[in-house]
Every structure is written in C-alpha cells, then in structure tokens.
Amino acid sequence: MQGNKLQFQAFTYDLTDASMRKQLLRARRLVQKLNRINVNNTKKKNAILSELFGSIGQKADLNPNFYCDFGSHIFIGNNFFCNYNCTMLDIATIRIGDDCLFGPNVSLYTAGHPIDLKGRLDNIGTGAPITIGNGVWIGGSCVIMGGVTIGDNAVIGAGSVVTRDVPPNTVAVGSPAKVIRRIEENEAYDRTKDF
C-alpha cells in the first residue's frame, strides 16, 4: 500500500483472512504491553512504539490508553503528542506529519464495512487511507474517517466528525466538519476567533 497511487484508493478485504488475523494479534500484544507500561519507563515505551508502528519520529508521545489494529500501517512524524484514549483503525495507511497534536478521545478510522447487508454478512471490510499534514491540531473527541486528507496547519474543533478533506490553514468544526474560516499567516492566539 505504500509508495504508489493505490494507497489513495479505497479497497475491500476479507475479514477472515488468516494472515491478517495473525498481524492483528501481533499488534494487540504490543498495544497491551504499551498500555500497561510504567509511565516513567520512556526507554521501554519508545522501543514498543518503534516495533508497533511503520515509523515514528523523534519526540513523539502517546498517553494511555492507545489502540490500533495493525500499527505497521501507521507512520508518525516528529514532535507528535497524542492525549488519552486514542484509537487508530489502520487497515489502510495512516500518515501523520510533524508537529501534530491530538486531544483526548481522538479516533482515526480507515476501516469500514459495505453498505449492503450481503457484503457485511460475507465478512467484507473496506479501507481507505488517512493523511494528516504537518502542524495539525485535532481537538478532543474528534473522528477522522477513511479517505480524508487534512492539510498542513489545519485545526479541527473538538467533537467534529471529519468526512471530507480539510484544506491547509483552516479551522473546521461540526458533524460533518465544515471549514468555518482560514488561519492567517502568523496569526496570534485569540480564543475568541477560533470558533
């Protein structure tokens, strides 16, 4: 899925595939270790994160509890902070840029199911990648759906459900999330302007 045009397209897969189930179990063991580790044991935590993810940059930190399906489909840049109770369903690739901040209870769902009942009964799953640019802030309790790209320096307001691409340098809020304004270059912090 990496490094080619196919990574940007939705796909289907068999939920009962034995090889996939083996990969899921590997990730679950690592996630279980990660969530049980002593918070002061940074060295062990970083070793688990390096083994779990496709790649993870410098100064990346995830608060417990964290959950994912595979881990190996997740690629995280430098200076990433993820607050409590994050879930990343990564049947498809998740790419997170540098200098990103996730509030608590953020969920990224690349996985889905067919709309038609027959597809669901036949154990068919769907997947579409998520790409998050550099400098993105995703507020608490947001859901990012598969197939979405969030541009550099965007801000997603707390509680939003992102079902479509968000352009760079914008603030998006709501369910479904909609862009409410642009972020001006070198804009000073002013809470009254945010939402």
How much is the pLDDT for 172? 98
Output the CA torsion sign for 192, 60, 151, 160: negative
In a domain, 123, yes or no: yes
pLDDT of 61: 94
Residue from 100, 190, 189, 193 nearest 142 by CA:
100
Q: Are 72 and 55 in contact (CB under 8 A)?
A: no
Query: What is the pLDDT, as a whole number, of residue 4?
Result: 37
Residue 65 has a pLDDT of 97
Residue 21: per-residue pLDDT: 92
- 88 exposure class (CB count in 10 Å sphere: 0-12, 13-18, 19+): buried
Q: Is 113 assigned a catalytic role?
A: yes
- Residue 2 domain-assigned? no
How many distinct structural domains can be found in the chain?
A: 1
Which residues have C-beta within 8 Å of that of residue 170, sequence separation ≥ 6?
A: 151, 154, 155, 179, 181, 182, 183
Residue 51 belongs to domain with CATH number: 2.160.10.10
Torsion sign over Cα 6, 28, 24, 42: positive
Looking at the domain assignment, is residue 195 inside a domain?
A: no
Q: Is 48 left (phi over 0), alpha (psi -120 to 50) or beta?
A: alpha
Residue 98 counted as domain residue: yes
Q: Which domain holds residue 179?
A: 8-184
Q: What is the DSSP string of 93-131?
A: -EEE-SS-EE-TT-EEE-EE--SSHHHHHTTEEEE--EE
Q: If you average pLDDT over residues 104-108, what whole number do you get?
A: 98
The answer to whether position 84 is within a domain reads: yes
Q: Catalytic residue among 113, 140, 165, 178, which? A: 113
Is 46 a domain residue? Answer: yes
Task: For residues 3-8, give the mean pLDDT.
Answer: 41
- 47 part of a folded domain: yes
Is 65 domain-assigned?
A: yes
pTM for this predicted structure: 0.90
